[in-house]
A and B are shown apart, each in its own frame.
Chain A
Amino acid sequence: MKARILFVDDERHVLDGLRRMLRAHRREWDMQFAEGGEQALALAGETRFDVVVSDMRMPGIDGAQVLCGFAERQPASVRVVLSGHADREAVYRTIGPSHRYLAKPCDADLLTAAIGAVLRTRSGVSEAAAASLPALPCLPSPQGVIDKLRYTLSLETPSLDQLAEIVADDLSLSAKILQLSNSAYFGIDNVMFVPGQAVRMLGIDVMRDLLALPGFCRPLDEDAPWAPAFLDCWRRACRAAAIAECVAGEMDLSDTGRLLARQACKFTELGHAAMLAGGTPADPDMAPAAMFMASLWGFPAELVGLLADGAGGEDGGHLAILIDTVRSLVNRPDGAAEPGPAAGTAPLIESVRSTLRQKEVRL
């Protein structure tokens, strides 16, 4: 079945341009075009859309209201902002209801790649996951983490280092910060792999604003039946990130590679955590859900790729092998079973192991 995509803009020229430019995708996508917010919200009551791409500044009902409307009425829709300029206040209203923010002018290839990737990764997850993951404005964090974040930001001169560390050590906040910094929510679109760096790029004032937004973070309800499993996930993510960082330091990797290793291992649990938080029965294979979440939230394609199962493969290089190894080590309850590496990589695995022993990492 063709994916149904709705484009919303108050300017006819933009809609016509998009319609013409996307003509090449007419066989896979069923595209509709709404001239303004009212028309878009009217359509929200009639037709189910897989993806909604909306401009921000429109007379009457603006883009933030359109996306809020869709988040409410069609929570399974993928919601993307495509905007030239919007004031901070309006942008803040989209944090939560929107998944991604593309800046105008958006290159045709970037737009089609973004929509294509999210639809492709969505097809890899169960119907229940495809419906529940886009409905999550953010993932829950342990109450203690949020308290720590709130306290640090309440100080007169909070330390960016400390903020970076709080975010880096929390799976949910890390994911949210990567989402915001890889999109053009704050005017500048970057390719950011590292949540800690993203915090430093955003700065304290923005972090303070974000903390006040409902769609930025929420405390974990520890009485929820899925809470213990979520916390397990969360801990595994921390541990995997720590191990990856340790080992990556000892391996022949580029600086970017070292940074990627940590993130790829941390976000291995992203899909699992999101499914638990979304109340979806857990899939045995969590990689597709992680990839869907990551591409839904606009993570860099390189990082999304590393979340795939067996990203190591035969030619994945040191980085992929490291990630595979760390994953299998972390996911084994006893830490004894063989990780089953691709042929010819045994010495490398051994070096990872010995590094781990040297560093006395507790598995």
Chain B
Amino acid sequence: MDPHLLQRRYAREKAARQQAEALLEAKSFELYQANGELQRLAGELAAQSSQLNAILDRSAAVFLLVDADGAIVRVNRMAETCFGADADALTGRPVAALFAEACRAEADALVRAAVTDLAADADADDGDDGERELSSELTGLAADGRAFPVEIGVSRLEHAGQVHTVWICRDITKRRRAETKRQALEQDLRQAQKLESLGTLASGIAHEINTPVQFISDNIHFLKDMMADLEQVFAAHAKAMTALAAAGGGEVVDEVKAAEDDADLAFLMDEAPRCIAQSLDGVRRIGKIVGAIKEFAHPGGDEKTAIDLNKALKTTATVCRNQWKYVAELDFDLAGDLPKIMGHPGDINQVLLNLIVNAAHAIEEVPGEALGRIRIATRGEAGRVVLTVADTGCGIPAENLEKVYDPFFTTKGVGRGTGQGLAITHNIVVAKHGGAIDIDSEVGGGTTFRISLPIEAACGREAA
């Protein structure tokens, strides 16, 4: 071999090896770097994944991944809580099984519709007018059989060539409850407005009645005076008739007697005064009722004014007489020199009305025909006026005593009570007037409401 040739080859191979070594080193380094990057990415992916899982699990909404056949593939923690079953028990089941019997067909239909009708790519939201989500409200069914309202949104997910549907569900029990409450409040408001316009109407009618009552009453007074005068005239006539009979005017006397008998004069003279007295009593009663309606419906302003509680009680009892007179006798035991209280007259009338009507209703619950008794008493105490309304009604069971002021709590049948009466009463007495309410009740022994209202600090002269 040519030593030169050998030498050159050796040199060339050496260079090639060196080159290869350098390349290997560079590649190894690259590999090393690539590996680090990969690890970092893997870590990031894992972190993102656990973050996503955490988000899904923390979510207050239920997430369900459902396959195209309607079988549950994956659930989040809320789904477990909401439906009362763990993930293993849920996966694999048909999604429709999570809902009440009556909703299952709709749930199946939602799966089919989501798979076939919904826009494929949920990300492309520009220029796409296809629907992205189907929504509905169904009744959910927990593992323990508890049914609850759920709001659901179903969307389509296409991933790795497979079509899934994603169900986001929310338990809307609370919202439903709030809605019901709001509806009830609205109804209440409507009721109040109705009452107000009824009140306006009633006081308008009351005013209309006043004029005829005025002249009917005047006319009956006139008849009363007239009868008194006529009686004197008749007495004089009778005397004249006797004289005439004695003087031999028998024929005329007989004629007059016959006419008197024909008209039943004795009866007329007997009955007329009583008829007049009763009519006067009746017309007075009408006047009193009309006056009470007028006073009860009298629109008060927003300010507190001095109120004579005794008078307000009598007015209210007159206005709602129809509610109690068939079930109870009503007794008043009112303090003579009761100080006035400061308050909103309309509100106070409302409280008194509620108390009296409640008492009447409680008495109505007692079986039997005997009349019950409502006893209303007022007393002045140091700085306060105390009103008690005691009935001989059915009483309130101890377990209900705490709840009587809750809005919507009622034991009365539909149409009898809205459950608002005592809640309103409590609000007016305690919040608006700084007073207090106590209930003393015994089942079968009746109930006593005791309301105390403060007298406004009477610092001025003539203020009390």
Residues of chain A at the chain B interface (Cβ within 8 Å): 11, 13-14, 16-18, 20-21, 23-24, 84-85, 103-108, 160-162, 164-165, 168-169, 187-188, 190, 194-197, 200-205, 245, 254-256, 259, 262
**Roughly how many angstroms separate A276 CA and B58 CA in the complex, as a whole number?**
89
B210 near A105 (CB under 8 angstroms)?
Answer: yes
Contacts A105-B214, A203-B305 given; does A23 touch B463 at CB 8 Å? no
- B35-43, B88-96, B218-226, B441-449: which lies at the A interface? B218-226
**Roughly how many angstroms separate A187 CA and B305 CA in the complex, as a whole number?**
15
User: Could you say which residues of chain A place their CB within 8 Å of the CB of B287?
Assistant: 105, 107
User: Could you say which residues of chain A place their CB within 8 Å of the CB of B210?
Assistant: 84-85, 103-105
B211 near A187 (CB under 8 angstroms)?
Answer: no
**Roughly how many angstroms separate A201 CA and B340 CA in the complex, as a whole number?**
9
Select A194's contact among B207, B218, B462, beta carbons within 8 Å.
B462
Query: For the complex, is B459 an interface residue (Cβ under 8 Å from A)?
Result: yes
Q: Which of A13, A23, A84, A196 has the most CB of B within 10 A?
A: A84
The smallest C-beta distance from A295 to any residue of chain B, in angstroms, reads 22
A197 near B462 (CB under 8 angstroms)?
Answer: yes
User: Could you say which residues of chain B place their CB within 8 Å of the CB of A23?
Assistant: 222, 225
Select B305's contact among A21, A161, A195, A200, beta carbons within 8 Å.
A200
When A and B form their complex, which 4 residue pairs have the shortest distance between CB atoms, in order from nearest?
Answer: A196-B462, A17-B218, A17-B215, A20-B222
Contacts A11-B211, A161-B460 given; does A197 touch B340 at CB 8 Å? yes
In the complex, the chain A residue whose C-beta lies closest to that of B464 is A197
A169 near B213 (CB under 8 angstroms)?
Answer: no
Select B298's contact among A17, A165, A187, A262, beta carbons within 8 Å.
A187
A13 near B305 (CB under 8 angstroms)?
Answer: no
B460 near A16 (CB under 8 angstroms)?
Answer: no
> CB within 8 Å of A: which of B279-320?
283-284, 287, 290-291, 294-295, 298, 301, 303-306, 308
Interface footprint category on B: 35 or more
User: Could you say which residues of chain A place their CB within 8 Å of the CB of B221?
Assistant: 20-21, 108
The smallest C-beta distance from B287 to any residue of chain A, in angstroms, reads 5
Scoring B residues 325 to 357 as 1 if CB is less than 8 Å from chain A, else 0, what string do you get? 000000000000100101000000000000000
> CB within 8 Å of A: which of B81-120?
none
User: Could you say which residues of chain A place their CB within 8 Å of the CB of B294?
Assistant: 187-188
The smallest C-beta distance from B215 to any residue of chain A, in angstroms, reads 3
- Additional A-B contact list (7), CB under 8 Å, known A108-B218, A203-B305: A14-B215, A84-B208, A85-B210, A104-B211, A161-B460, A196-B460, A197-B462
Select B207's contact among A16, A84, A160, beta carbons within 8 Å.
A84
**Roughly how many angstroms separate A162 CA and B301 CA in the complex, as a whole number?**
20
**Roughly how many angstroms separate A18 CA and B284 CA in the complex, as a whole number?**
16
Q: Which of B222, B290, B301 has the most CB of A within 10 A?
A: B222
**Roughly how many angstroms separate A84 CA and B209 CA in the complex, as a whole number?**
9
B337 near A107 (CB under 8 angstroms)?
Answer: no
**Roughly how many angstroms separate A20 CA and B215 CA in the complex, as a whole number?**
10
Query: For the complex, is B461 an interface residue (Cβ under 8 Å from A)?
Result: yes
Select B337's contact among A108, A203, A255, beta carbons within 8 Å.
A255
Contacts A201-B306, A204-B303 given; does A196 touch B215 at CB 8 Å? no
Contacts A11-B211, A108-B218, A245-B461 given; does A202 touch B305 at CB 8 Å? yes
Number of A-B residue pairs at CB separation under 8 A: 123
The smallest C-beta distance from B276 to any residue of chain A, in angstroms, reads 13
Instruction: List 13 A–B pairs whose Cβ atoms lie within 8 Å, in order of A's numbering.
Output: A14-B215, A18-B215, A20-B221, A84-B210, A103-B210, A104-B214, A105-B213, A160-B342, A162-B460, A168-B461, A194-B462, A200-B342, A203-B305
Select B463's contact among A16, A161, A169, A188, beta carbons within 8 Å.
A161
Q: Which of B290, B304, B460 has the most CB of A within 10 A?
A: B460
**Roughly how many angstroms separate A157 CA and B284 CA in the complex, as a whole number?**
42
In the complex, the chain A residue whose C-beta lies closest to that of B295 is A188
**Roughly how many angstroms separate A11 CA and B214 CA in the complex, as a whole number?**
11
In the complex, the chain A residue whose C-beta lies closest to that of B228 is A24
B303 near A161 (CB under 8 angstroms)?
Answer: no
Contacts A165-B460, A202-B305 given; does A13 touch B225 at CB 8 Å? no
A17 near B222 (CB under 8 angstroms)?
Answer: yes
The smallest C-beta distance from A62 to any residue of chain B, in angstroms, reads 15
Query: For the complex, is B200 an interface residue (Cβ under 8 Å from A)?
Result: no
**Roughly how many angstroms separate A41 CA and B284 CA in the complex, as a whole number?**
33
**Roughly how many angstroms separate A21 CA and B463 CA in the complex, as a whole number?**
41
**Roughly how many angstroms separate A17 CA and B218 CA in the complex, as a whole number?**
5
User: Could you say which residues of chain A place their CB within 8 Å of the CB of B337?
Assistant: 254-256
A11 near B215 (CB under 8 angstroms)?
Answer: yes
A85 near B207 (CB under 8 angstroms)?
Answer: yes
Query: For the complex, is B216 an interface residue (Cβ under 8 Å from A)?
Result: yes
B214 near A24 (CB under 8 angstroms)?
Answer: no
Query: For the complex, is B217 an interface residue (Cβ under 8 Å from A)?
Result: yes
B213 near A104 (CB under 8 angstroms)?
Answer: yes
The smallest C-beta distance from B236 to any residue of chain A, in angstroms, reads 19
In the complex, the chain B residue whose C-beta lies closest to that of A189 is B291
**Roughly how many angstroms separate A204 CA and B342 CA in the complex, as a whole number?**
13
Query: For the complex, is B367 an interface residue (Cβ under 8 Å from A)?
Result: no
The smallest C-beta distance from A193 to any residue of chain B, in angstroms, reads 9
Query: For the complex, is B212 an interface residue (Cβ under 8 Å from A)?
Result: yes
**Roughly how many angstroms separate A360 CA and B210 CA in the complex, as a whole number?**
54
A21 near B219 (CB under 8 angstroms)?
Answer: yes
The smallest C-beta distance from B288 to any residue of chain A, in angstroms, reads 10
Q: Which of B211, B212, B214 has the most CB of A within 10 A?
A: B214
User: Could you say which residues of chain B place their CB within 8 Å of the CB of A161?
Assistant: 456-460, 463
Select B460's contact among A85, A168, A202, A256, beta carbons within 8 Å.
A168
A17 near B462 (CB under 8 angstroms)?
Answer: no
User: Could you say which residues of chain B place their CB within 8 Å of the CB of A201?
Assistant: 305-306, 340
**Roughly how many angstroms separate A197 CA and B342 CA in the complex, as a whole number?**
11
User: Could you say which residues of chain B place their CB within 8 Å of the CB of A84?
Assistant: 207-208, 210-211, 214
In the complex, the chain B residue whose C-beta lies closest to that of A106 is B214
User: Could you say which residues of chain A place their CB within 8 Å of the CB of B208?
Assistant: 84
A168 near B301 (CB under 8 angstroms)?
Answer: no
**Roughly how many angstroms separate A201 CA and B301 CA in the complex, as a whole number?**
12
**Roughly how many angstroms separate A14 CA and B295 CA in the complex, as a whole number?**
23
**Roughly how many angstroms separate A4 CA and B12 CA in the complex, as a whole number?**
154
**Roughly how many angstroms separate A204 CA and B461 CA in the complex, as a whole number?**
17
User: Could you say which residues of chain B place their CB within 8 Å of the CB of A105?
Assistant: 210, 213-214, 217, 283, 287, 290
Contacts A20-B218, A105-B210 given; does A164 touch B463 at CB 8 Å? yes
> CB within 8 Å of A: which of B414-464?
456-464
Select A16's contact among B215, B225, B459, B462, beta carbons within 8 Å.
B215
**Roughly how many angstroms separate A162 CA and B461 CA in the complex, as a whole number?**
9
User: Could you say which residues of chain A place their CB within 8 Å of the CB of B460?
Assistant: 161-162, 164-165, 168, 196
**Roughly how many angstroms separate A93 CA and B306 CA in the complex, as a whole number?**
25
The smallest C-beta distance from B328 to any residue of chain A, in angstroms, reads 28
B463 near A196 (CB under 8 angstroms)?
Answer: yes
The smallest C-beta distance from A278 to any residue of chain B, in angstroms, reads 26
**Roughly how many angstroms separate A24 CA and B456 CA in the complex, as a whole number?**
48
B459 near A21 (CB under 8 angstroms)?
Answer: no
**Roughly how many angstroms separate A24 CA and B229 CA in the complex, as a whole number?**
10
Select B219's contact among A20, A107, A203, A205, beta carbons within 8 Å.
A20
Contacts A188-B295, A203-B305 given; does A164 touch B222 at CB 8 Å? no
The smallest C-beta distance from B464 to any residue of chain A, in angstroms, reads 8
